[in-house]
Structure 1
Amino acid sequence: MRTEDKSTQKNTDGLAQPILHQKGIEIQPFGTLIELPIGLDAKVRADSCESLNQLLADSVILYYLYKKHHWLVRGETFYQLHLLLDKHADEQLELVDMIAERIQKLGGIAISDPRHVAEVTRISRPPNGAEEVPAMLSRLLEAHQIVIEDARKGAELTDENGDSSTNDLLTSEVLPTNETQIWYIASHLVDTPLVRS
């Protein structure tokens, strides 16, 4: 009589038992492309993926900065900033998803592990604790500047390479969203009296 490993035995209790602790091989290493018939050669797709992965890493960090500051903001403008920072975080998360999915549509691998993101990002690490509000907002503006630089370089590259879908994502979604968020955050750093002029 043959003995089966418990993980492959049929469940006789009628319950669905997951097969746990599975291991597998990496089926596509980071930095490689699979062939997809989308009318762009491999060099163009590789250039776009590299550019988008830098943007993705920086956008992920910007998202987490927004969440950190949303949780830790203090002071007279707490309520307004608490809501605004969360709204901006949600908008950044949407962009993160769009960027990652575009990389996949190009046949690449989107940067996704937080440790890998931390290695690649150009955004400086903030202190672990809470900062004063002006410092938090300034930190967000500095991070936005890096993301905007990534997006503009990517838009120029994809325009030159004829990758119109990636270019459209950058010019119609990433840049306008970040520019609007910069405007809102920068407006909170204008030194104007609260009640008297």
Structure 2
Amino acid sequence: MTKTKYPLHPTRNNLHSNTKTVVIQLLNARLADGLDIALITKQAHWNMKGHNFIGVHKMMDDFRNEQNELNDKMAERIAAIGGTALGTTQEIAKNSSIAEYPTDIISVDDHLTALSERFAIYANALRKAIDEADEAGDADTSDLFTEVSRAMDQQLWFLEAHKPYPSKLHAK
């Protein structure tokens, strides 16, 4: 993790400054991922076509609304403990751990696959951040990461549940 170029802002929050510094870096890293996920969710929403279109299209809207709320909570946590939330497109591009989203896909199934791959990266990074925030001494941020993790695990499950699944009834 690299040092942030932004100094801590004065706050009466009594977390140790080292804890704040570590946790702000964790939060900004996951915020970059979360904002990236929100953008690719909308990219898929706008451009998918095919089987189950309307259901998946509407699901993407629900996902995006929830993602916006969760991203806002992470950004506000950063500010609450004296940090600077980094949410510009430049920061997202520089700091997101999410693989670049293909812009040449159209089919619902291709979007479901591409989204599932990226949501899994984010969900796994969130689980790691839960432990890292706890080890840094910030149970509140760990709890926030747990909330975001639960939501992303559910969204990932919904994406994966839309993919064709082999039937045992037709297996020989």
> Do Structure 1 and Structure 2 share a fold, with TM-score over 0.5?
yes
RMSD: 1.9
Query: Partner of 1:56 in structure 2?
Result: 31
Q: Report which of the two has the higher share of helix.
A: 2
Greater displacement, 123-132 / 175-184: 123-132
1:191 to 148, 152, 165: 165
Counterpart code for 2:42: K
Query: Partner of 1:176 in structure 2?
Result: 150
1:135 is aligned to 2:135: no
Deviation at 1:117, TM superposition (A): 0.9
Decide whether the 8 Å contact of 2:26 with 2:133 is kept in 1.
Answer: no
3-state SS in 2 of match to 1:184? helix
1:22-61 correspondence runs (5 A)? 30-61=5-36
- Rounded to whole Å, the distance in 2 between the matches of 1:125 and 1:178 is 18
- Rounded to whole Å, the distance in 2 between the matches of 1:96 and 1:76 is 30
Query: Partner of 2:84 in structure 1?
Result: 109
Decide whether the 8 Å contact of 2:35 with 2:87 is kept in 1.
Answer: no
Decide whether the 8 Å contact of 2:51 with 2:108 is kept in 1.
Answer: no
Gaps of 5+ in 2: none
3-state SS in 2 of match to 1:111? coil
- Rounded to whole Å, the distance in 1 between the matches of 2:125 and 2:154 is 16
Task: Give CA-to-partner distance per residue, 1:141-197, whole Å, 9 cap, x none.
Answer: 1221221222122211221222121111111x201100110111000113358xx96
Deviation at 1:32, TM superposition (A): 2.5
Deviation at 1:30, TM superposition (A): 4.6
Greater displacement, 147-156 / 76-85: 147-156
Task: Give CA-to-partner distance per residue, 1:111-159, whole Å, 9 cap, x none.
Answer: 1111121111111222333432222112211221221222122211221
Q: How many residues align?
A: 166
Query: Partner of 1:154 in structure 2?
Result: 129
- Rounded to whole Å, the distance in 2 between the matches of 1:46 and 1:112 is 17
- Rounded to whole Å, the distance in 1 between the matches of 2:165 and 2:78 is 41
Counterpart code for 1:69: A
- Rounded to whole Å, the distance in 2 between the matches of 1:114 and 1:192 is 40
Query: Partner of 2:96 in structure 1?
Result: 121
Greater displacement, 125-134 / 55-64: 125-134
Give the TM-score of the pair, scaled to structure 1.
0.78
Decide whether the 8 Å contact of 2:19 with 2:136 is kept in 1.
Answer: yes
- Rounded to whole Å, the distance in 2 between the matches of 1:59 and 1:47 is 18
- Rounded to whole Å, the distance in 2 between the matches of 1:48 and 1:88 is 26
